[in-house]
A and B are shown apart, each in its own frame.
Chain A
Amino acid sequence: MPALPDGEPVPDDGTLPAWVAPAAADAAGERPFGVYVHVPFCSVRCGYCDFNTYTAAELGGGASQSQYASTALDEVALAARVLDGAGLGSRPVSTVFFGGGTPTMLPAEDLARVVRGIERTWGLADGAEVTTEANPDSVTPESLRVLADAGFTRVSFGMQSAVPHVLATLERTHDPRRIPDVVAWARDAGLGVSLDLIYGTPGESPADWRASVESALATGVDHVSAYALVVEPGTKMHAQVRRGQLTLPDEDDQAAKYELADDLLTAAGLGWYEVSNWARGPEHACRHNLAYWRGDDWWGIGPGAHSYVSAGRGAAGEHAGVRWWNVKHPRRYAALLAEGRSPGAGRELLTAEEAHLERVMLGVRLREGLDLAVLDDAGRRAVAGLVARELLDGVAALRGRAVLTRRGRLLADAVVRELTA
């Protein structure tokens, strides 16, 4: 799993820097607030996964799954104190997202308890989005109904592929034939459904990938995320590649698969709204993820979770926001909270320059694009060349937005480097 970033220590009580402006200084609807809940449990660890997650065997004693909801609620209480202290406690929660790990490893009732705790603490905004990730083999019609009753509005299934040999390489244990069923159960329960797909797995042919996308579409879902497989150092798959047991497809293969997915999804009525995300209309987009990409505030609950609070418009000084991250291990995480201390392992105080880079980096990935007024002079001068090379959309540029063309989506990092040169 990736190491935590370097940063300065988080104060014991989790207090935010004094320069963070209170919500009272904000315009209406500015700095929306979301909550992420990390559930660090899986039944097995997949070979490619570098997320902060543990199997029961890896975890041993001291941080049991049955205790987890209570521990997470302890952090919710800490968050409430910290945000109150900064004058930011009054904002209702716009989005909640349970990720992992496998959140559905926990009983649906535990997830429901955490949602209720969040609602009790800050209140949920009207039409709030509450999502959980789920493994297709860890849900039932009943558990999905419990989630819907508890206020969940959306579920995102880790389908990854429809092809058994690809799933096997990924060490995914679910039966792909279950996908249409779990999607139907979720929809019957009144939940919005997204399917996650991975392309570029060793051994995956273009036909395999087409089959996966088509299977996903055949379920009638309104949202698909498609991610290129990235083999991170430290994963089992990384070792397999290094030993020559697996051969990674090259980037051309990944590019071709991206284009194929975009063609198929677009034809089926799902338009891209972020580089790797497609939805049947804006109402089906994942608003929680949009909040990340738009630079909104969020609190990440759970081991290894990151949080971000912007300085706000009323802030004075050189800083644009603060991001911190919790200790990674569930036992240490639980122990700190039990002592009434912040589980924060470190934080970074973002300079205006860093915040600018993030804003461009994240904003340009969106279909809505980036306001060109955000760019500095050098960035604006780069726009014409990017349009000429068909990386940015010309019409959008004339209207004041930097919007990636499809070619530009595949070269988005290069575009960001030029816009922030």
Chain B
Amino acid sequence: MPIPGPALTARIEPNATAPELIRNFCIIAHIDHGKSTLADRMLQLTGVVQSRDMRAQYLDRMDIERERGITVKSQAVRMPWATADSDGVETPHALNMIDTPGHVDFTYEVSRSLAACEGAVLLVDAAQGIEAQTLANLYLAMENDLEIIPVLNKIDLPAAQPEKYAEELANLVGGDPADVLKVSGKTGEGVEALLDRIVERVPAPVGDADAQPRAMIFDSVYDTYRGVVTYVRVVDGDLSPRERIQMMSTRATHELLEIGVISPEPYKTKGLGVGEVGYLITGVKDVRQSKVGDTVTNAAKPADEPLGGYDDPKPMVFSGLYPIDGSDYPTLRDALDKLKLNDAALNYEPETSVALGFGFRVGFLGLLHLEIVRERLEREFDLDLISTAPNVVYDVTLEDGTEVKVTNPSEFPGGKIREVREPVVKATVLTPSEFVGAVMGLCTDRRGQMEGMDYLSEDRVELRYTLPLAEIVFDFFDNLKSRTRGYASLDYDATGDQAADLVKVDILLQGEQVDAFSAIVHKDAAYEYGVRMTAKLKEIIPRQQFEVPIQAAVGARVIARETVRAIRKDVLAKCYGGDISRKRKLLEKQKEGKKRMKNIGSVEVPKEAFISALSSDAGGAKESKDKKK
């Protein structure tokens, strides 16, 4: 129940709340399973947001998140909630809801958010059942020893099958299907019971109040006005305003300008004690100075050991980003610089392409990360961009033992190569059992190694594969969706690398290499790639005054060839008096178009042609992995 009076409220003031009154929890859910709506309802029920202030999905700050229904940046909200025991004695609690990113690309961020909690609400759409990615996060939560509270959402939907999916959840987390809570974030049904259940089941945080302070950063967000806002969970000791703090991974020190909690707007407090969750402001401008997973301590009396689990984000997928209008290059550079302030995982360096001009090679955590960055660049900075087909990082060892890291196919070394290693992932696919064959076929085509298969329920199967990451970043998800009529879901996690028989296929126009189309592919797929790309380019390269051969080559060996025949006619047959203005304007337009031509050797190609080839080719990959069904 909402806190009934000021006496109880006093017991849960920030910096003065006994750890046993604190509950730190997160919600694990698939993107469209209603997490934000449920969170909104909790904010309302606990009284931290008045109904009239409510806007849909209060916690998702960015437009892009609101529209896509996904949460990129986690936040933490402190909510008061009272429970009464059998004697009617009321106890106040401070509930910290830590909103986790829901997506596989952000596994590391998810793991840090989970590490800040003692419990997790496993929220599943009662009409859809659990999805692969939720399963992955559930595994993470269980590894972190979190108390799991299974909940079925959207029970108001006509298509809901609460009994069926309660059974599925009970099977997964152990326990009785009857214990699975049934709620509707939309109507609010069952949400009070859920809040009570959280208080009842989630363990209170435990820490040493007298030890040197240690707080774990689980998120870090750049704010235009405040600089970086760092979200922490205090494990030991306490933090207070004006003290000097140290980031343990870098030893960098900062003055703590402000400390506080969010409820749901930030408010300053006198500090944060054991088990509490809140934010810090130090005035730094770049999220890289406040890294997720790092431990904050007191600079004067630092802790001996950082909290475990810190890791630097590693880009897994690379793509070239180019402005469609070359004069937008400086805007793109400034935009990336700005996004970087808020995205510790974003890496980029300038790159030049013969076909596409000036741009950047950008490293991403995964495909969704790529898509989000691209969309933010286009939306917030009004840029039109073209991205090259995403690729992974290869470790190439030459015959002489030299090792080369390749993040761009055009850097793939020529000459004698001893070994090429590529990243591999452990992929989990959940699919209705009728599509098992189709999914297995796809995974086999993509060089997958089956690791296991389990029935989650009678008609739902979990397939586990080891797959080269490169095979996933290229239209795998679209293929999976189309082969399973949209029912399968996918999750993957990097597990290491493997040696593979990989070659670089170059595309040549009249003997000149077109960098944007080089690709690193498995030897067995080289021919197919070569045939496909040469055929595609043949369609879009305008005929020139001479014949233009289009070749695909592995090293010096040509594996596919098409020819664009020479143009024979480029003249308007009739030109009478009434037609002169029109014809002149046509020529002016053609001349304008010529300025947008790129020269590959002596072949003139409209930039649009490259863009269209890349767009259709990267089409599968461009689609974000987990768009709503």
- Does A171 interact with chain B (Cβ within 8 Å)? no
Given contacts A357-B588, A389-B545, A417-B591, is CB(A410)–CB(B580) below 8 Å?
no
Given contacts A306-B581, A410-B568, is CB(A230)–CB(B576) below 8 Å?
no
Query: With A and B bound together, what is the CA distance between A217 and B141 in angstroms?
Result: 90
- The distance from the CB of A358 to the nearest CB of chain B, in whole angstroms, is 5
Q: CB-CB contacts of B569-583 with A at 8 A, as 1s and 0s?
A: 111111111101111
- The distance from the CB of B455 to the nearest CB of chain A, in whole angstroms, is 51
For B594, the chain A residues whose CB sits under 8 A away are 417, 421
Given contacts A230-B574, A413-B587, is CB(A251)–CB(B569) below 8 Å?
yes
Interface contact A36-B587, CB-CB below 8 Å: no
- Does A254 interact with chain B (Cβ within 8 Å)? yes
- Does A94 interact with chain B (Cβ within 8 Å)? no
- Does B485 interact with chain A (Cβ within 8 Å)? no
Q: CB-CB contacts of B585-617 with A at 8 A, as 1s and 0s?
A: 101101100100000000000000000000000
Interface residues of B in 175-199 (CB under 8 A from A): none
- The distance from the CB of B599 to the nearest CB of chain A, in whole angstroms, is 13
Interface contact A409-B571, CB-CB below 8 Å: yes
Q: CB-CB contacts of A390-421 with B at 8 A, as 1s and 0s?
A: 01000000000000000001111110110011
Q: CB-CB contacts of B266-289 with A at 8 A, as 1s and 0s?
A: 000000000000000000000000
- Interface size on A, as a range, is 35 or more
Given contacts A357-B587, A358-B584, A389-B545, is CB(A413)–CB(B577) below 8 Å?
no
Q: CB-CB contacts of A316-340 with B at 8 A, as 1s and 0s?
A: 0000000101000000000000000
Identity of the chain A residue whose Cβ is nearest the Cβ of B572 in the assembled complex: A413
Of the listed stretches A77-85, A134-142, A160-168, A297-305, chain B binds A297-305
For B573, the chain A residues whose CB sits under 8 A away are 226-228, 230, 275-276
Interface contact A292-B580, CB-CB below 8 Å: yes
Q: CB-CB contacts of B235-266 with A at 8 A, as 1s and 0s?
A: 00000000000000000000000000000000
- Interface size on B, as a range, is 20 to 34
Query: With A and B bound together, what is the CA distance between A413 and B587 in angstroms?
Result: 8
- Does B84 interact with chain A (Cβ within 8 Å)? no
For B570, the chain A residues whose CB sits under 8 A away are 410-414
Query: With A and B bound together, what is the CA distance between A323 and B585 in angstroms?
Result: 14
Identity of the chain B residue whose Cβ is nearest the Cβ of A225 in the assembled complex: B574
Given contacts A304-B578, A306-B577, is CB(A416)–CB(B587) below 8 Å?
yes
For A293, the chain B residues whose CB sits under 8 A away are 575
- Does A59 interact with chain B (Cβ within 8 Å)? no
Interface contact A361-B591, CB-CB below 8 Å: no
Given contacts A255-B568, A275-B573, A411-B570, is CB(A348)–CB(B581) below 8 Å?
yes
Query: With A and B bound together, what is the CA distance between A226 and B571 in angstroms?
Result: 13
Query: With A and B bound together, what is the CA distance between A99 and B574 in angstroms?
Result: 14
For B571, the chain A residues whose CB sits under 8 A away are 275, 409-413
Interface contact A411-B580, CB-CB below 8 Å: no
Interface contact B577-A5, CB-CB below 8 Å: no
Query: With A and B bound together, what is the CA distance between A187 and B238 in angstroms?
Result: 112
- Does B54 interact with chain A (Cβ within 8 Å)? no
Candidates B568, B576, B588; contact of A251 at CB < 8 Å: B568
- The distance from the CB of A287 to the nearest CB of chain B, in whole angstroms, is 13
- Does B567 interact with chain A (Cβ within 8 Å)? yes
The residue among B571, B572, B580, B581 with the most chain A CB atoms within 10 A of its own CB is B571
Interface contact A417-B581, CB-CB below 8 Å: no
Identity of the chain A residue whose Cβ is nearest the Cβ of B595 in the assembled complex: A421
For A409, the chain B residues whose CB sits under 8 A away are 571
- The distance from the CB of B179 to the nearest CB of chain A, in whole angstroms, is 63
Interface contact A357-B572, CB-CB below 8 Å: no
Given contacts A292-B577, A300-B577, A417-B591, is CB(A361)–CB(B569) below 8 Å?
no
Query: With A and B bound together, what is the CA distance between A357 and B584 in angstroms?
Result: 7
- Does A278 interact with chain B (Cβ within 8 Å)? no
Interface contact A5-B578, CB-CB below 8 Å: no
For B590, the chain A residues whose CB sits under 8 A away are 413, 417
- Does A2 interact with chain B (Cβ within 8 Å)? yes
For A354, the chain B residues whose CB sits under 8 A away are 584
Interface contact B578-A258, CB-CB below 8 Å: no
Candidates B567, B577, B585, B587; contact of A417 at CB < 8 Å: B587
Identity of the chain A residue whose Cβ is nearest the Cβ of B578 in the assembled complex: A306
Interface residues of B in 150-183 (CB under 8 A from A): none
Interface residues of B in 542-574 (CB under 8 A from A): 545, 565, 567-574
- The distance from the CB of B593 to the nearest CB of chain A, in whole angstroms, is 10
Interface contact B567-A251, CB-CB below 8 Å: yes
Interface contact A362-B580, CB-CB below 8 Å: yes
Interface contact A361-B578, CB-CB below 8 Å: no
Identity of the chain A residue whose Cβ is nearest the Cβ of B586 in the assembled complex: A413
Interface contact A305-B575, CB-CB below 8 Å: no
Given contacts A252-B568, A362-B580, is CB(A420)–CB(B591) below 8 Å?
yes
- The distance from the CB of B580 to the nearest CB of chain A, in whole angstroms, is 6
Identity of the chain B residue whose Cβ is nearest the Cβ of A324 in the assembled complex: B581
For A2, the chain B residues whose CB sits under 8 A away are 582
- Does A365 interact with chain B (Cβ within 8 Å)? yes
Query: With A and B bound together, what is the CA distance between A292 and B577 in angstroms?
Result: 6
Query: With A and B bound together, what is the CA distance between A258 and B587 in angstroms?
Result: 22
For B574, the chain A residues whose CB sits under 8 A away are 227-228, 230, 276
For A412, the chain B residues whose CB sits under 8 A away are 570-571
Interface residues of A in 95-144 (CB under 8 A from B): 99
For A325, the chain B residues whose CB sits under 8 A away are 578, 581
Query: With A and B bound together, what is the CA distance between A121 and B425 in angstroms?
Result: 89
Query: With A and B bound together, what is the CA distance between A300 and B576 in angstroms?
Result: 12
Candidates B569, B581, B588, B591; contact of A5 at CB < 8 Å: B581
- Does A54 interact with chain B (Cβ within 8 Å)? no
- Does A308 interact with chain B (Cβ within 8 Å)? yes
- The distance from the CB of A80 to the nearest CB of chain B, in whole angstroms, is 20
- Does A240 interact with chain B (Cβ within 8 Å)? no
- Does A245 interact with chain B (Cβ within 8 Å)? no
Query: With A and B bound together, what is the CA distance between A252 and B566 in angstroms?
Result: 10
For B591, the chain A residues whose CB sits under 8 A away are 417, 420-421
- The distance from the CB of A147 to the nearest CB of chain B, in whole angstroms, is 21
- Does A43 interact with chain B (Cβ within 8 Å)? no
Given contacts A411-B545, A417-B594, is CB(A36)–CB(B577) below 8 Å?
yes
Interface contact A361-B576, CB-CB below 8 Å: no
For A247, the chain B residues whose CB sits under 8 A away are none
- The distance from the CB of A257 to the nearest CB of chain B, in whole angstroms, is 10
- The distance from the CB of B376 to the nearest CB of chain A, in whole angstroms, is 38
Query: With A and B bound together, what is the CA distance between A413 and B583 in angstroms?
Result: 10
Query: With A and B bound together, what is the CA distance between A323 and B572 in angstroms?
Result: 21
- Does A289 interact with chain B (Cβ within 8 Å)? yes
The residue among A99, A289, A410 with the most chain B CB atoms within 10 A of its own CB is A410
The residue among B569, B570, B584, B587 with the most chain A CB atoms within 10 A of its own CB is B569
For B576, the chain A residues whose CB sits under 8 A away are 99, 289, 292
Identity of the chain A residue whose Cβ is nearest the Cβ of B594 in the assembled complex: A417
- The distance from the CB of A5 to the nearest CB of chain B, in whole angstroms, is 5
Interface contact B581-A361, CB-CB below 8 Å: no
- The distance from the CB of A86 to the nearest CB of chain B, in whole angstroms, is 19
Query: With A and B bound together, what is the CA distance between A258 and B573 in angstroms?
Result: 10
For A357, the chain B residues whose CB sits under 8 A away are 584, 587-588
Query: With A and B bound together, what is the CA distance between A160 and B545 in angstroms?
Result: 30
For B569, the chain A residues whose CB sits under 8 A away are 228, 251-252, 254-255, 258, 410-411
For A410, the chain B residues whose CB sits under 8 A away are 568-571
Q: CB-CB contacts of A62-82 with B at 8 A, as 1s and 0s?
A: 000000000000000000000
Query: With A and B bound together, what is the CA distance between A293 and B572 in angstroms?
Result: 14
Candidates A251, A300, A389, A421; contact of B578 at CB < 8 Å: A300
Nearest 9 Cβ contacts at the A-B interface: A255-B568, A228-B573, A412-B571, A255-B569, A306-B578, A227-B573, A251-B569, A292-B577, A227-B574
Q: Give 27 pairs: A residue, B residue, CB < 8 Å, sorted on A.
A: A5-B582, A99-B576, A227-B574, A230-B573, A251-B569, A255-B568, A255-B569, A256-B568, A258-B569, A289-B576, A292-B575, A292-B576, A292-B577, A300-B577, A308-B580, A323-B581, A357-B584, A357-B587, A361-B587, A410-B568, A411-B567, A411-B571, A412-B570, A413-B571, A413-B572, A413-B590, A417-B590
Residues of B at the A interface (CB closer than 8 Å) are 545, 565, 567-578, 580-585, 587-588, 590-591, 594
